[in-house]
């Protein structure tokens, strides 16, 4: 995800409402999220769909790594040799 530019990517809700189409286009073009504030506090984030999917994909990979590390700690790992043997057996059918 592209870094937020604090002087451009934080807007109050009233400004966002008056220029919704402009901000949608801006987020799509810059790939940077837009933080929308309400009563001076961050309230919501507008994010490009492709950038959102990229974040989700990264989280999925990290979760897979965390699960694998947990399985290794529990002694559930299998050797490369065993994995290769299982794949060969599965695809020779």
d(CA 23, CA 26): 5
Residues of the chain with pLDDT under 50: none
Report pLDDT digits (tens) over 24-33.
999 999 999 9
Q: Are 36 and 4 in contact (CB under 8 A)?
A: no
d(CA 1, CA 35): 14
- Give the pLDDT confidence score for residue 84 in this predicted structure: 92
């Amino acid at each position: 995800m592209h870094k937020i530019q604090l002087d451009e990517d934080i807007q109050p809700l009233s400004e966002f409402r008056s220029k919704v189409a402009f901000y949608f286009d801006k987020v799509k073009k810059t790939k940077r999220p837009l933080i929308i504030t309400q009563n001076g506090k961050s309230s919501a984030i507008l994010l490009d769909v492709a950038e959102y999917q990229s974040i989700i994909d990264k989280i999925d990979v990290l979760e897979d790594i965390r699960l694998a590390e947990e399985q290794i700690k529990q002694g559930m790992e299998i050797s490369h040799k065993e994995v290769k043997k299982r794949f060969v057996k599965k695809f020779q059918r």
